[in-house]
Chain A
Amino acid sequence: MSEVTVHMSVNGTARRGRVEPRKTLADFLREDCVATSVHLACEHGVCGACTVIVDGVASRSCLMFAVQADGASITTAEGLANPDGSLGIVQDAFRQCHGLQCGFCTPGFVVSVTAFLQENADPSLEEIREGIAGNLCRCTGYQGIIKAVQHAAATMAGTPTAMTTSTEGN
């Protein structure tokens, strides 16, 4: 099958590749751009594990072809850590609130929640539940994820919720 050249910026790095027109954006990111945070858990647009930000919009990369993202700027979960490698606010909130177990759904959630909080910085509990209902998690029962969204929103607003952590021991 003939191949076409695509260019995109992935987490700030310019990427160029030759792809078959039928290659999905998810496969391009995973295979050609070492962005393996992009997980495929359904490949039919329901689970949200493959969510990435395409030109500012949270998108399901399993439902897009790489050629459709030609010229786009893409952010994946890898790109949401701080430049020094420390956890971004949403990532840290997932850790503090035990918002993950196996971690397979997590990068998709981190991306979706980041986009959600950009649109609604102070969501109610019901808005959070609806806002993340496009992502599936089989492990957590969403309890820690809902708390993580609340925690991240509060941290962004400068009023972090009290999380009683004792990593340092007593």
Chain B
Amino acid sequence: MAQAHVPMADKHRDRAPLFEGTAARFVGQKVLRKEDPRLVTGHGQYVDDIVLPGMVHAAFLRSNVAKGRITKLDTSPALALDGVIAVYTHADLRYVPGTIVATMMQAMGGAACPENLLATDDVRFVGDCIAVVVAESRYIAEDALELIDLVVVAETPVVNLEEALTDTHIVHKELGTNITGTIDIPRDPHIEGLLTESAHVVTATFNQARQTNSPMETRGIVASWDRFRGELQLHMSNQNPHEMRRRAADLLAVDESKVHVAQQDVGGGFGQKMFMPREEAVIVLLSREVGRPLKWIEDRRENLMASNHARRDRATVTFALDADKKIVAGYVDINEDAGAYPFGGAGAGAMAGMLLQGPYKLQRTAFKSYAVFTNTCGRAAYRGPWQFESVIREQMVEHVARRIGIDPVELRRRNVIQWEDLPWTTPMQVMVYDNMSPAETLDQAVEMIGYEAFRAEQKRAFEEEGRLLGIGFSLYIEPSAQNMGALATEGATVQISGTGKVDVFMGTGSHGQSIETTMAQIVAEELGVHVDDVEVHQGDSNTPFGGGTGGSRTASIVSGAGRAAAIQVRQKVFQIAAHLLEANPDDLEIDSSVISVKGTPAGKTVTLAQVSHTALYATEGLPPGMETGLEATARHRQEAVTWSNACHVCTVEINRNTGAVSFARYIVSEDCGLMINPMVVEGQVAGGVVQGIAGVLYEDFRYDADGNPLTTTFMDYLLPTAAEVPIIEHGHIETPSNTPGGYKGMGEGGAIGAPPCVFNAVADALWLLGVEVFDHPLGPNEILDALATAG
């Protein structure tokens, strides 16, 4: 398989280089994962594997109407069932509604949705939680749900964006409007002029389909309240242990130090488990009422219809181009469906608007964005929460190319930011691009796919055989590793035991990202020890505070903290070793835990174990006045986002009889800076790509006109299988970033680049017949409909 690897100039040569004693022994290598032996043998420990003495089980009674008034709720028949311990409704919850920030729009002054953890007197989407049964087993709890006497009088729901915007029916009666947030960056006269008088002005409307994160492990929690200590122990499938601790403490009105959050393995999340949703909050509160460890494990139907949704967006976009086919101005109007109870990561339209220009030299942009409540499942973060900017822009670029008659690659080449243009300030003056390579990734992708040859084959296959082959590109940049608030900071503690082994404590919540391996690589490299001698402990709130695993932030930010702590410890190791060896610390080096004087291969040595033994067990041997122990905690603050970028290209064929799309090739040319572990990088890219493809071709969470969900099993909501996916080819361009290690974030990029890429390939194939499409999904039915319009 073609693999290209292009290093770019490092603009940050003043960055401290990796420790020379062991430079590049582990960092940059395909180091096999430390997580794997337990996971491949089935000995991972996920939340449902936690069994505590006296543990009881919860199940939620959920609404099966989208909007309605509760006129009867009698739980006594359920309570009478043998094995049922209690049944709770909203009136039983003791909490003060707090200040959770449900949407990014809310943070900018938009309306907050009411913090009803259970339904009060009405229900607001199918899946809304009404009551909770606690029983000796999950089987009994589910039996009891059937016995609850519930009457709901249905009302007219708000099911889609168009209805929501009219405010004819209101989702949250407390608010009086369905608009949760608006951002309006109006067109100034200059933009207005460009958008009306330029040589080419093109407008189109695109829709994106509703998708849900669908981690293979659903949500789950075991909450255990110790009433004698006044402490809460939480085992939870989550991405962000420190956030969960804070939220649980706020809910219970106890000190954070009274809450401990721990998890070992987490079966995926993709944003769903970054913040604490309503169900987990209810379990936290009820654990105090029940007085026994309380477990709730979500089932798949609940996860599909009631965890979180994403991606339901619509945009109308206008591009203006001059006679040279340079894009000179852009305007977009974005509408986002936030559902009924959104949480963290919804309201991303503002970011989508601000990033509209993407990798192009587009000097003037403006946008308007609305997020609206509907009587559907709430929106939350999903891998690349504002990827709609790339969907809008990259689909628009190819639409414009078709309209004005220019090759889409040529159109991109005329407009893409070049290396010599950097640093580049974006039109709204709020972001500065640097250390990225959009033009280079475009070139690499074009070369790897063999663009000219494909176009020739496409023409031949259509003219001679009537076959519909298509090619699509997408080119994007991504602000990864955010530099805002709690997301900008991470800490790490590195400590060496008396036997010379290394423990690292980090505040991350790995849920598949290989953090135990990649962060061990970083620390091993800096300490001069073998990666097998480093254990990374994370997924626990007894670690330095961190902003959680999400937002493509671990490689840049967490590694910065780990590296800084390791360097501090190494310096102390050298001071002690110098004392033991009667040498100067500056003359020492360490390799594979053996410390020696540089350039004296046969000279005296001391091992790390001897040094750490001295530091902890034979402390009288330390240099006079030196503190005992070998440990350090360091923090890293991210001063600027890193700009990751990539170009995706794929080739497809449409089956004219079935409407099915099959892939020929799929290529990603990615620049995530220096790579800590290329195997992990390619794995993250591939996982994101397949989720992105699926959002266009297969997955489509649908509601009927009454707000009933139609896709609540994996038989209806179609995750892709190995039979459909393309074999992904990777190209790497490495432009070091300005972070300590030169890394950039890359966990989300695959899911950002893939949707417009596959959409464009299908659209390109349909264009052979003169047919255009604008909306996701593009399942067989939609494609057959499009083919039918070709006559």
Contact B512 A101, beta carbon cutoff 8 Å? yes
How far apart are the CA atoms of A9 and B32 in the complex, in Å? 34
- Residue-wise interface mask of A (125-145) relative to B, using a CB-CB cutoff of 8 A (1 in contact, 0 not): 000111011111111111111
Contact A95 B33 (CB under 8 A): yes
- Confirm or deny: A71 has a beta carbon within 8 angstroms of a beta carbon on chain B: no
Q: Closest approach, in angstroms, between the C-beta of A86 and any C-beta of chain B? A: 9
Is A103 a contact partner of B265 (Cβ separation < 8 A)? yes
- Contact of A39 with B512 at beta-carbon distance under 8 Å, contacts A87-B41, A105-B216, A138-B214 already known: no
> Which residues in chain A, 69-114, are within 8 Å of chain B measured between CB atoms?
76-78, 80-81, 87, 91-92, 94-96, 98, 100-107, 110
Distance (whole angstroms) from the CB of A33 to the closest CB of chain B: 12
Do A165 and B216 touch across chains, with their CB atoms under 8 A apart? no
With CB as the reference atom, state the residue of chain A lying closest to B715: A46
Q: Using a CB-CB cutoff of 8 Å, which residues 665-698 of chain B contact chain A?
A: 679-680, 682-684, 686-691
Evaluate whether A102 and B267 lie within 8 angstroms (CB atoms) in the complex, with A36-B42, A41-B216, A47-B714 already known: yes
Q: How far is the CB of B698 from chain A (nearest CB, A)?
A: 12
How many angstroms between the C-alpha atoms of A35 and B48 in the bound complex? 12
A-B contact count (CB 8 A): 191
Q: Which residues of chain B are near A94, meaning CB under 8 Å?
A: 36, 40
B25 close to chain A: CB less than 8 A: yes
In the complex the two chains form, is B722's CB within 8 Å of A96's CB? no
Q: Per-position contact with A for B22-42: 1 when CB-CB < 8 Å, else 0?
A: 001110011111011101111
Residues of B within 8 A of A66 (CB): none
- Known A-B contacts A44-B714, A101-B514; the reply to A166 vs B33 at CB < 8 A is no
Query: What residues on A are CB-neighbors of B508 within 8 Å?
Result: none
Taking the nearest CB of chain A, how far is it from the CB of B77, in angstroms?
Answer: 18
Q: Say yes or no: B216 contacts A22, CB within 8 Å.
A: no
CA A96 to CA B691, docked complex, whole Å: 23
- CB of A57 closer than 8 Å to a CB of B: no
B321-355, CB < 8 A from A: none
Q: Given the known inter-chain contacts A44-B300, A130-B723, A164-B30, please indicate yes or no for A104 contacting B267, CB distance below 8 A.
A: yes
| B44–A103 touching, CB < 8 Å | yes
A143 with B512: CB separation less than 8 A: no
One digit per residue, 1 when the CB lies within 8 angstroms of any chain B CB and 0 when it does not, for chain A 3-43 equals: 00000000000000000101100000010000111111111
Interface 0/1 of A35-67, CB less than 8 Å to B: 111111111101101000000000000000000
In the assembled complex, which residues on chain B have CB atoms less than 8 Å from the CB atom of A39? 46, 216-217, 267
Does A117 sit within 8 A of B, measured CB to CB?
Answer: no
What residues on B are CB-neighbors of A20 within 8 Å?
A: 139
Residues on the B chain within 8 Å of A159, using CB: none
A92–B45 alpha-carbon span in the complex (Å): 19
CA distance A80 to B45 in the complex (A): 18
Cβ of B168 under 8 Å from chain A: no
Is the CB of A158 closer than 8 A to any CB of chain B? Answer: no
Report whether A104 and B713 are in contact in the complex, using a CB–CB cutoff of 8 Å: no
Distance A133 CA – B721 CA, assembled complex (angstroms): 5
> Is B728 part of the binding interface, using a Cβ–Cβ cutoff of 8 Å?
yes
Select B40's contact among A35, A87, A137, A138, beta carbons within 8 Å: A87
Contacts of A30 in B (CB 8 A): 48-49
* B714 near A138: Cβ-Cβ < 8 Å: no
Q: Say whether B775 faces chain A, with CB atoms less than 8 Å apart.
A: no
Do the beta carbons of B728 and A141 come within 8 Å of each other?
yes
Does A167 make an interface contact (CB < 8 A)? Answer: yes
A38 to B43, CA, bound (A): 10
How far does the Cβ of A51 sit from chain B's closest Cβ, in whole Å?
11
The smallest C-beta distance from B182 to any residue of chain A, in angstroms, reads: 34
Residue contact B530 to A169, C-beta cutoff 8 Å: yes
A118 at the interface (CB under 8 A from B): no
Complex Cα–Cα for A87 and B40 (A): 8
Distance, CA A95 to CA B723, complexed state (A):
22
Asked, given contacts A77-B42, A78-B42, A98-B683, whether A42 binds B30 with beta carbons under 8 Å apart, the answer is: no
B352 to A: closest C-beta gap in Å: 24
Q: How far is the CA of A128 from the CA of B727 in the complex (A)?
A: 13
Q: Does B441 contact A (CB under 8 A)?
A: no
B650 → chain A, closest Cβ, in Å? 13
Is B216 a contact of A144 with CB atoms below 8 Å?
A: no
Chain B contacts for A106, CB-based, 8 A: 39-40, 42
Nearest CB in chain A: distance from B749 CB, A = 13
- What's the minimum C-beta distance from B114 to chain A, rounded to whole angstroms? 32
Q: How far is the CA of A96 from the CA of B33 in the complex (A)?
A: 9
Q: Is B299 an interface residue (CB 8 A)?
A: yes
Distance in angstroms from B21 CB to nearest chain A CB is: 13
Asked if A100 meets B690 with Cβ closer than 8 Å, knowing A41-B216, A47-B216, A136-B719, the reply is no
Given contacts A94-B36, A102-B266, contact A143 B713 (CB under 8 A): no
Q: Identify 13 new A-B residue pairs, CB closer than 8 A, beyond the known A46-B713, A98-B33.
A: A36-B43, A39-B46, A39-B267, A78-B43, A101-B687, A103-B44, A103-B512, A138-B691, A141-B689, A142-B725, A143-B725, A165-B30, A170-B29
